[in-house]
Amino acid sequence: MLDCSFDLPVDALLVESMAGSIPQNFIDDLLTRVDIVEIVDARVSLKKAGRDFKACCPFHSEKTPSFVVSREKQLYHCFGCGASGSVIRFLMDYDHMEFVEAVEDLAKSAGISVPYETRSGKRFERQSKDSTSLYELMEKVAHFYSLQLRKHPQKDSVVKYLKNRGLTGAVAKNFEIGFAPSGWDNLSKEFVSSESQKQLVDTGMLVRKDNGQVYDRFRNRVMFPIRDRRGRVVAFGGRVILKEDMPKYLNSPETEIFHKSHELYGLNALLNKSNANNSIVVVEGYMDVVSLSQHGVGNSVATLGTAITEHHIQTLVKYADVVVFCFDGDEAGKKAAWRALEVSLPRLSKGTQFKFMFLPDGEDPDSMVRRVGAEGFYQMVDQSMPLSDFLIEHLLKQADYRSIDGQVKLVEVARPLMSKLPQGSYVNLLASRLSEYVQMPPDEIIKQIFPKTRNEQQIKNVDKFLSTEKPSNIRVAIAMLLERPNLALLVDNPEKFRQLNLPGVALLERLLVFVKDSPNITTGALLERWRDRQESVFLGRILRWEHHVPESGYETEFLGALSVLEDQLRQQEIDELTQRSKRTALSSQEKERLSHLFAGNDGTRH
């Protein structure tokens, strides 16, 4: 929901990344250096259509092209599904990149380095080629381990172990399972250059001792390459072959290219095949993912030795309508499930369903699918517990709702959890469920959890503003501004509109001020500034509005809409001064101001 009263910064912002912060002014400059048509055309075949380019939309199924890319605006837009944005948004959605990955990829194509700033303000640059060479080296390491599984003298023990786990050669090849032989120097013998060994230390594959010597981190283990969403090897997981070896599972450490709280094992493989149910089952280990795939359950991913994080949830909701968390049924499994629930709550507004599947004692996904098969496992997935049931079940354990004091406590315990949810139908249904256990109607529960805010009336006004059939002058002005941002340069004093009491005017005023400060900005770059703000939804709707104004009429429509707004601003001030004169005598300055307003000589004209 759009709150047009938001105070949107127009100065340089800092976009957070794992390496530091990327200054917003660098992103603005980057968007002027790259050509969205070239980037999109390399992935989607575009055809010239007048001044723009068209294709069938890559984000939804269609037979008639409605996907348009504008070089002038540096913007893509689909008139079918509404997808739109800058080249950064395109890379994020099409190549499954994170924001920082997309910026780094574009910077590399433009031949420039991405600057980062630490919180202390220190600026540094990380060359894209460094990361690229790390990915290339890790790919070679994956090939090396895969080769050892086929040719090393010790391979028989590993092959026997995999067969005992029920894995075929085909699934081992599909997941590129390898073997790290026993010994301390297998990798250092294979990659002998000092630069390669330095990079192997940087990626955690080699460990450097105090005396400067290095040794292999992974020894006598089954090796699982961990790929990111783009298919690049970023780390490895190793499982012991002999029961007496410890630890049972060993993952690569955190490195420049691997952050375990962000990655999900098996996601890249899942994205490269059809997911008919549009669902993902989240399990705890990579062997579970491999075994499930072996037995016909190909839509699972695994965390990498860490609890479910917000980053995991953000990733999962991009690719699935239903996310099922599969945990052991013991106390540790319930705690892990509860953590997953807490981080999932804010994402319920995105339309994704979250469910929880608890396995019987002594079972894990691997053993369960071998016992009941794919069909039986999918039946268990279908019957898994909805998030709302798990939430209510947990809350009822926190308070004895049979007493008045217990009911009060129950609402208090529910408040911090339900407050994470965006207001809407889900909250209403959850409040109805909760009202079954407390002597309080659902509306009252919602009031307890979401007290009224001072912006409530503004939000109602914005709803009315968005739903009106006749386009307002504010909507027309914003639409023309999106078509041609430099129209803002025709407005001498955009700050004056700040005083106008109309929904949407705050956004218009901020857009005008921002464009005047960045006169060469394109439509795509303008949208990028508002990408993660609530206003971006409204701007997207404006872009989809077929206003039928010819290009030659943009300036006339824009100035005409502003002229009406200026008249309304003048009338608003006249009404305020007139009402004040009925209560008390106006000062000489106020009388003079009122006279100028009546004469239309108030200086409000652009």
- 353 contacts 343 by C-beta, under 8 angstroms: no
- pLDDT in the model for residue 16: 52
- pLDDT in the model for residue 426: 79
Between 577 and 132, residue with greater pLDDT: 577
pLDDT digits (tens, 9 = 90+) for 380-393: 999 999 999 999 99
Tokens at 364, concatenated: 């894990």
- pLDDT in the model for residue 149: 94
| Three-class secondary structure of residue 272 per DSSP | coil
- For tokens 């004093």, what's the residue? 493
- Spell out the alpha helix ranges (H) of 298-403: 310-319, 331-344, 365-382, 387-396
Alpha-carbon separation of residue 31 from 27, 34, 36 (angstroms): 6, 6, 9
- 605 contacts 491 by C-beta, under 8 angstroms: no
- Which residues in 173-292 belong to E strands, given as ranges? 178-180, 206-208, 214-216, 221-227, 233-240, 249-251, 279-283
d(CA 59, CA 40): 13
pLDDT class of 466 with cuts at 50, 70, 90:
very low
From 560, 545, 543, 548, select the one nearest 482 (Cα to Cα): 543
- pLDDT in the model for residue 337: 93
Residues ≥6 apart with Cβ < 8 Å to 575: none
Query: What is the 3-state secondary structure of 160-185?
Result: HHHHHCCCCHHHHHHCCCEEECCCCC
* For the ranges 185-189, 255-259, 461-465, 541-545, the one whose mean pLDDT is highest: 185-189
pLDDT class of 593 with cuts at 50, 70, 90:
confident
- Whether 340 shows a pLDDT value over 90: the answer reads yes
- pLDDT in the model for residue 454: 37
Q: Average per-residue pLDDT in the chain?
A: 83
- CA angle 93-317-103, nearest 5°? 35
- Whether 69 shows a pLDDT value over 90: the answer reads yes
Between 491 and 601, residue with greater pLDDT: 491
d(CA 355, CA 335): 15
pLDDT class of 421 with cuts at 50, 70, 90:
confident
- Whether 201 shows a pLDDT value over 50: the answer reads yes
- pLDDT in the model for residue 131: 62
d(CA 454, CA 547): 34
pLDDT digits (tens, 9 = 90+) for 533-585: 767 777 877 877 777 788 888 899 889 888 888 888 878 878 777 887 778 87
Task: For residue 245, count other CB atoms closer than 10 A to its CB.
Answer: 14
- 206 contacts 216 by C-beta, under 8 angstroms: yes
State mean pLDDT over 504-529: 86
* For the ranges 3-12, 90-99, 113-122, the one whose mean pLDDT is highest: 90-99
- Whether 605 shows a pLDDT value over 60: the answer reads no
pLDDT digits (tens, 9 = 90+) for 230-282: 889 999 999 998 777 788 889 999 998 898 888 999 998 888 877 666 899 99
- pLDDT in the model for residue 231: 87
Task: Judge if pTM exceeds 0.85.
Answer: no
Task: For residue 263, count other CB atoms closer than 10 A to its CB.
Answer: 24
- pLDDT in the model for residue 385: 95
Range in 267-271, 293-297, 499-503, 520-524 with the lowest mean pLDDT = 499-503
Task: For residue 418, count other CB atoms closer than 10 A to its CB.
Answer: 23
Tokens at 474, concatenated: 């504010």
State mean pLDDT over 273-296: 87
d(CA 54, CA 66): 7
Range in 295-304, 344-353, 560-569, 592-601 with the lowest mean pLDDT = 592-601
Amino acid at 560: G
Element (H, E) at 49: strand 47-49
- pLDDT in the model for residue 2: 35
- Whether 457 shows a pLDDT value over 70: the answer reads no
- 214 contacts 223 by C-beta, under 8 angstroms: no
Side-by-side strand order, sheet with 221-227:
178-180, 221-227, 233-240, 249-251
Q: What percent of the chain has pLDDT over 70?
A: 87
Tokens at 111, concatenated: 């031949």
